[in-house]
Structure 1
Amino acid sequence: MNSALLEGAVKKNRAHLIPFMLTLYVLAFLDRSNIGFAKEAYQLDTGLSNEAYALGAGIFFVMYAFLGIPANLLLCKLGARKWIGCTTLLWGFLSVAMAWADSEAKFLLIRTLLGAAEAGFFPGMIYLTAQWFPQRNRASIMGLFYMGAPLALSLGSPLSGALLELHGFLGYAGWFWMFVIEGMLAVLAGAFTFFWLDDSPQQARFLSVEEKQALTAQLASEEQQKVTSRFADALRSGRVWQLAMIYMAIQIAVYGLIFFLPTQVAALLGTKVGFTASLVTAIPWVAALAGTLFIPRYSDRTGERRIIAALTLLAAGIGIGISGLVSPLFAILALCVAAVGFIAVQPVFWTMPGQLLSGTALAAGIGFINLFGAVGGFLAPLIRVKAESFFASDAAGLLALAGAALIGTLLIFLLGVRRSLAPSTQIRY
């Protein structure tokens, strides 16, 4: 195999796919989490209770969870270009529709439909990464993709805050304009997908014939070393179930913080959620950008997965817990540590299913693991609200999220799997 051709193919794939995937992830993350910025004004205008808000924030993940596996299998059957393009258009229009969700029933319905529309996006992106990049490059590639989350929350925070300041423009609330404008960005991206994305490396218009052959040969050699390619075997695997539980713990920590971060920061500053608070809210996500760029690359360079993932998630848990117990300045610093931890751990984590599974089993396994993550996302706001209510303390909610991160850390340590792929691409759990 010509290593120069393989490296050339990887570089072209990175240049062609990562900016596109990153943009979609920014928009997806923004559309699912922007309700956090509108929380106070939206509840005031619509009369939505805290309990209904928590249910709506989490109900997104119900359909998202249970449609993840069939969505990924449909991606395999229909092709990435059509499937991702159509689902992006659909979730964009539903995000726009949130502007007219002026009652509890409408709010819950649209959040449910939005979860269904986005169900195929994220697991589809994970699956595409496994189809386009060799194993030894995947943590850093996923790190670049995962920068979409902190980008959405660092750039999106000021954007959402600024749009909220449009309150009264043409007679509409600021949250109305936030949902319309941010949703339309996703609609435009969905239309662009049909012109930009190819279904597989073999069909890539930007690779030479020789580069396609080199990349295909490398990916095929890695497929032969997977544990299984059978759908049923993937769901019977104890390792896959353990990975699913780990991902659920990660997502409880992630979304339990994200959905409430704007209001938490505003409380620390003694102000309302608006442009100023949104700028400070962006600080942890700027820190997460740096961590997500460095930690997955370090994992690829050293070949270590399990220990790096465990320590990164442990840092996230400590940061979340401390943020509710210290002064505002140190709370912001702790939130920076938390953001770095729970964003940077995920690209390293997602290299693990690809070492065990291939083909249909990989698509189904990713969907299955993502299902548990979606359950975690659904439970996260409920866990936080219930803990705060039960103990009559805001810090109790944060400590509950920290506990979930620590459980995930323990489960990663208990994986205890060391598996060599090849002498030149040794990866260790």
Structure 2
Amino acid sequence: MSTTASTPDALHRAATRKAMHRLIPLLCAIYFMSFLDRTNVALAKVQLAADVGISAAAYGLGSGIFFIGYALLEVPSNLVAYRVGMRRWIARIAVSWGLLSTAMMFVQGEWSFYALRVLLSIAEAGLFPALMYMVTLWFAPQDRPVAVGWIYTAPALALMLGNPIGGALMQLGGIGGLHGWQWMFMLEGVPSVLAGIVLYFTLPERPRDAGWLSRDEAQALETRAVSDARGHPELSSADWLAALKRPTTTLIGLIYFLNQVAFVGLYFFTPAMIHQMRIEQPFLVGVLSASVGFGFLAGVLILPRIHRRYDNDCVYLGVLTIGLVAGAAAFIAAASPAARMALLAVTAFFAGGVLPSYWAIAMKRLQGIQAAAGLAFINTLGLIGGFVGPYLFGITETVTGRSDSGFFVILAASLLGLALVPVFARAIRREAALPEPVARDAAAGIHSR
């Protein structure tokens, strides 16, 4: 009995290890490039003000407006990806956003800055939920926090490596008659186009398409990936709107929205906060800004593995949110630049490290086309938070004259997120208390008379 029972488990574990080693690096690579191209504008903030007259408030609006176009097209984009295939759609996204990221070198003022940021957002819309949807096709629920955690190492590394690299590229200013920020946008945009082309030929859509998996390994992955937490097969309802009507989907989306208000504002304004510490040299600003990336990386490597050991998702979310509240409050109270540098990393540890858990919790309750729509909807709310965060940071800097005043935004957003955790817990309990057929019909959007 033990041999019979252990063979499928051993096969699935071996296949999961292969997928972690072969698939996840491809997803990380493309997400790394997208994050680099959407956030490198943070390093250009001071120079854009000097060279083309973009104010702090205009910079905050332009940084955040990226998330509006992205948000509006998130669900439609992922539904198209569901129909045409994730490989083709992700490759298309990478090529188009790479071209538009390169075009940022032609910014002439506030309106061209806004326009290119909106176009960049439209090009990139749907990328992240497409990556999350691929996780639901390849990994069993218990393996998803770690898989998503590995994917989140990409933006963490982009913050760690991208800031120093971008700072170095900006020192090319004067060569060829271009400003440093123009060199940075050009030399970081072109590789994204090349990455999209490579991905088109190398990314397997599903386990059955991967030449590096045996037929039995592919079957083992697909069988366990399409089962929900109760062991049911994948829902086949075409009513994808049902996923958007579930209270649990909306509530995890609202919590994610508040997280993104805090976290996106943090990493867009970290270089300005460090510059405010009387550090003028662009490369050094970039190196020190990497502290946020180090904290983020530590969070996504450590916290998903702790999440695996927690039975109660909401208690876990509450603990991490309390950590974020404490980190923000400590930064506001600290006076020493060294202490504040350390607290930037601590804040990023909690604000970024919790992200894989949001997605793993959502994936437990969404399958099939409902996963494509529901995950995109959650990301849409997060993207709106990504607009609100930098905009509020920009307003607070304009009012106070200090970039670090944005930490009051982080504190307020994290306290509101903490207040929503028990509401989310009650929604989960109510959903779990439904009789089994009713719960499944409700998830599928079927209403009995």
Using the size of structure 1 for normalisation, the TM-score is: 0.93
The answer to whether the 8 A contact 1:61-1:378 is kept is yes
Whichever residue aligns with residue 176 of structure 1, its letter is: Q
Q: Deviations over 1:160-208 (max 9, x none)?
A: 1101111111221110110011111211110111111111122222211
Partner of 2:128: 122
> Which residue in the other structure is 2:447 paired with?
none
Change (3 A) 1:166 1:89: same
Residues 34, 160 of structure 1: 8 Å contact kept: yes
Output the amino acid matched with 1:360.
I
Which residue identity lines up with residue 181 of structure 1 in the other structure?
L
Matched residue, 1:424: none
Task: Specify the SS of the correspondent of 1:34.
Answer: helix
Instruction: Name the structure 2 match of 1:165.
Output: 171
Question: Which residue in the other structure is 1:200 paired with?
Answer: 206
Q: Cα distance 1:168–1:52, how it changes in 2: closer, same or farther (>3 A)?
A: same
Corresponding residue number in structure 2 for 1:235: 244
Per-residue deviation, 1:152: 0.4
Counterpart residue number, 1:190 = 196
Q: 2:253 aligns with which of 234, 244, 250?
A: 244
In structure 2, the partner of 1:370 is 379
Are residue 68 (structure 1) and residue 74 (structure 2) matched?
A: yes
- Which moved further from structure 2: 298-307 or 361-370? 298-307
Change beyond 3 A, Cα 1:324–1:227: farther
Deviation per CA, 1:359-381: give whole Å up to 9, x if none.
11111111111111111011112
Superposed counterparts of 1:3-402, under 5 Å? 3-222=9-228, 224=232, 230-268=239-277, 270-272=278-280, 274-326=282-334, 327-390=336-399, 394-402=403-411
CA contact (8 A) 2:102 2:189 kept: yes
Q: Which residue of 1 aligns with 2:445?
A: none
Instruction: Compare 45-54 and 133-142 and name the one that shifted more.
Output: 45-54
Alpha-carbon distance, 1:303 to partner: 4.1
How much does 1:409 deviate?
A: 2.1
Secondary structure of 1:272's aligned partner: coil
Aligned residues: 419
With 46-55 and 131-140 compared, the bigger mean Cα shift is at 46-55
3-state SS of paired residue (1:22):
helix
Counterpart secondary structure, 1:95: helix
> What's the offset of the Cα at 1:102?
1.9
Deviation at 1:390, TM superposition (A): 4.5
CA distance in 1: counterparts of 2:269 and 2:149, whole angstroms: 24
- My pick for the range that moved more, 215-224 or 291-300, is 215-224
Per-residue Cα deviation, 1:296-346 (whole angstroms, up to 9, x for no partner): 011123444322222223322332343243121111111111010111100
**C-alpha distance in 1, partners of 2:305/2:391?**
34
CA contact (8 A) 1:227 1:356 kept: no
Cα offset for 1:34?
0.6
Highest Rg: 1 or 2?
Answer: 2
Aligned-residue CA RMSD (Å): 1.9
CA distance in 2, matches of 1:281, 1:27: 18
Whole-angstrom CA distance in 2 between matches of 1:27 and 1:378: 20
Counterpart secondary structure, 2:308: helix
**Contact 2:172–2:180 (Cα < 8 Å) also in 1:** yes
Match of 2:218, SS state, is helix
Contact 2:60–2:392 under 8 Å retained in 1: no
* Aligned-residue offset at 1:392: 6.0
Q: In the aligned structure 1, how far is the partner of 2:225 from the partner of 2:359?
A: 17
C-alpha contact (below 8 Å) 1:91/1:186 kept by paired residues: yes
Contact (CA 8 Å) 2:156, 2:296: kept in 1 or not?
yes
Distance 2:87 2:236 in 1: 27
1:412-427 residue pairs with structure 2 within 5 A?
Answer: 412-416=421-425, 417=428
2:57 and 2:395 in contact (8 A); partners too: no
Note the C-alpha offset of 1:232. 2.1
Give the partner amino acid of 1:349.
Y
Shift of 1:50: 2.1
Deviation beyond 6 Å, 4+ runs, structure 1: 225-228
Whether the aligned pair in 1 keeps the contact of 2:267 and 2:292 (CA below 8 Å) is no
Q: How far off is 1:405 after superposition? A: 1.4
Q: Which runs of 5+ in 1 are unaligned?
A: 421-429
Amino acid at match of 2:408: L
The residue identity in structure 1 corresponding to 2:28 is: L
In structure 2, the CA distance between the partners of 1:266 and 1:391, relative to structure 1 (3 Å rule), is: closer
Partners of 1:228 and 1:192 in 2: CA distance? 33
**Closer, same or farther: CA 391–283 of 1 in aligned 2, 3 Å:** closer
Unaligned runs of at least 5 residues, structure 2: 1-6, 434-449
Deviation of 1:391 (Å):
5.5
In 1, Cα distance between equivalents of 2:98 and 2:306:
35
CA distance in 1, matches of 2:166, 2:400: 32
Shift of 1:228: 8.7
Superimposed CA distance per residue, residues 210-248 of structure 1 (whole angstroms, 9 cap, x where no aligned partner): 111212222233372778954122111111111111110
8 Å contact 1:325–1:395 — kept in the other structure?
A: no
State the AA in 1 paired with 2:245. Answer: R
Q: Which residue of 1 aligns with 2:446?
A: none
* Paired AA for residue 14 in structure 1: M
Q: Secondary structure at the match of 1:67?
A: helix
Cα deviations by residue, 1:371-410 (Å, 9 ceiling, x for unpaired): 1111101111221233344466655431122110121122
**TM-score using structure 2 length:** 0.89
